[in-house]
Structure 1
Amino acid sequence: MASKAMMPHFKGRPDPLFADALTKVSPQAQAKAKATATDFEAMFLNSMFSQMTTGLRGEGPFGDTPGTGVWRSMLTEEYSKSFARAGGVGISNDVFRTLILQQANRAGQSRENPT
């Protein structure tokens, strides 16, 4: 018994345009687009987390030393990567959808106008 693939949703509604685009883009390109979208969200979150911790002074075992800033920047980078991998705040989903739609559009154009 063959199972029917689920229709992707965009903003709570079925998204046939995205479903069609996914059929035109290879699984390898989809995986690369997903990784790119996740990396983009991680960069955005890193920027947000960095802004949130800018005014904090060192506390705890590191105190207020020159190394605290370096440690904090590495920590916020790892936090942002972890948040993005866990689903983030939803930015990567929209970026992924946009990348796939662009690639499918480009694939459709190259089939219509081979040069």
Structure 2
Amino acid sequence: MESLLDFQLNQALGASRSGNVTAQTSGTTADAARAAAEDFESVFLAQMMEAMFAQVGEDNPFGGGPGENAFRGMLNEEYAKVMSQAGGLGLSDRLTSEILRYQEAADSQGGESQ
């Protein structure tokens, strides 16, 4: 499960960096920053939910078993995506503004050196 979360985190970070590599309009840069922030927040929420559900015993609505264990991680990820898109913890809003701030700073530094 750790490797899947690492992959998702790297994918979200890569998406946030792609705005620096290609020339994009501010609207698509903002959209990419928002998507990266929501991805990051969903990974964070999935990790929190994984820890939360690890404390829940096998006495749950689905009855436990190896099938439930195999798919619980995916269910947590989907819950986390929905929570993040619905506002989540508010982390994605703050991350979006920080990503855009760093991109603007990098763009202004790049323009000064030319």
Counterpart CA distance in 2 for 1:26 and 1:64 is 48
Tell me what 2:50 maps to.
Answer: 50
Q: How does 1:78-89 map to 2 (within 5 A)?
A: 78-89=78-89
Q: Deviations over 1:53-89 (max 9, x none)?
A: 00223323x3231111123222111110000000110
Which residue pairs with 1:69 in the alignment? 69
Task: Report how many aligned residue pairs link the two structures.
Answer: 89
How much identity, in percent, do the aligned residues show? 34
- TM-score w.r.t. the length of structure 2 is 0.72
Query: Paired residue for 1:94?
Result: 94
Q: Distance in 1 between matches of 2:93 and 2:107?
A: 21
Separation in 2, partners of 1:31, 1:64: 40
Between the aligned partners of 1:78 and 1:43, the Cα distance in structure 2 is 10
Give 1:36's aligned residue. Answer: 36
Structure 2: gaps of 5 or more residues: 1-24
Which has the larger helix fraction? 2
In 2, Cα distance between the equivalents of 1:57 and 1:72?
Answer: 13
1:73-111 CA deviation, whole Å, 9 max, x = no partner? Answer: 221111100000001101111111111001101111122
**Counterpart Cα distance in 2 of 1:110 and 1:65:** 55
**Moved >4 Å (runs of 4+):** none
